[in-house]
């Protein structure tokens, strides 16, 4: 085995020292963010959203500053580069990939949070997107990545309405609304079919 030259060893040690220093600085900043976040009502509300931890909540709160800046959740998604590109040709409108404009750090934090949900609470994905998450579809890695991005965008919808209404997110309440919506659409469908017959 070839011995490393002394110059290489010195560079390696220097790099490890710098990485250790940076790691310590990052930990200090994260600790301070969590400390400040505990005193902020908006941060507390945002932390109630699945996949939004204390760091993401703090970053969102201070990057957005005021929810009134955004006219709706779609505006918020576009602001952070999670809006969908649209291509129009004549009467045909085709939806493409996300725009990836805006704050790259926030987008990465949201996507990381969505990946955590995929690993720890796959039932939430089925609740959010029942038509996109059957077991066969979720075997495809590319499809899973699309669902993860869709979850990140969904998180921003929750951010918008929770902050706007000043209420924490509740997965139970969300499930109840989804169930009621399904029942109502089924009843509407039965009514329409009885009218046509």
Measured from the Cβ of residue 174, the count of other Cβ atoms closer than 10 Å reads 15
Distances (CA, A) of 162 to 14, 49, 57, 79, 196: 46, 9, 12, 18, 41
Distance in angstroms (rounded) separating the CA atoms of residues 175 and 16:
48
Please give the chain's pLDDT, 197 residues, in tens. Answer: 677 888 888 889 899 888 888 888 778 777 877 777 678 899 999 999 999 999 999 999 989 989 999 999 999 999 998 877 544 444 443 445 666 666 788 999 999 999 999 999 999 999 999 988 988 999 999 999 999 999 999 999 999 999 999 999 999 999 998 888 776 665 555 555 445 54
Measured from the Cβ of residue 125, the count of other Cβ atoms closer than 10 Å reads 21
Distance in angstroms (rounded) separating the CA atoms of residues 161 and 152:
15
- pTM: predicted TM-score of the whole model, two decimal places: 0.74
């Amino acid at each position: 085995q070839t011995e490393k030259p002394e110059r290489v060893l010195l560079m390696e040690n220097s790099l490890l020292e710098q990485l250790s220093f940076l790691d310590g600085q990052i930990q200090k900043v994260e600790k301070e963010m969590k400390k400040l976040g505990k005193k902020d009502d908006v941060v507390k509300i945002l932390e109630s959203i699945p996949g939004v931890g204390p760091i993401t909540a703090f970053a969102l709160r201070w990057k957005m500053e005021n929810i009134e800046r955004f006219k709706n959740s779609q505006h918020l998604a576009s602001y952070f580069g999670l809006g969908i590109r649209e291509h129009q040709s004549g009467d045909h409108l085709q939806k493409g990939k996300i725009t990836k404009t805006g704050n790259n750090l926030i987008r990465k934090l949201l996507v990381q949070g969505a990946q955590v949900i995929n690993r720890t609470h796959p039932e939430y994905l089925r609740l959010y997107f029942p038509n996109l998450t059957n077991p066969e579809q979720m075997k495809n890695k590319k499809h899973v990545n699309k669902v993860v991005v869709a979850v990140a965008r969904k998180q921003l919808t929750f951010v918008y309405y929770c902050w706007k209404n000043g209420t924490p997110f509740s997965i139970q309440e969300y499930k109840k609304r989804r169930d009621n919506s399904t029942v109502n659409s089924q009843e509407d469908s039965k009514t329409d079919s009885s009218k046509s017959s």
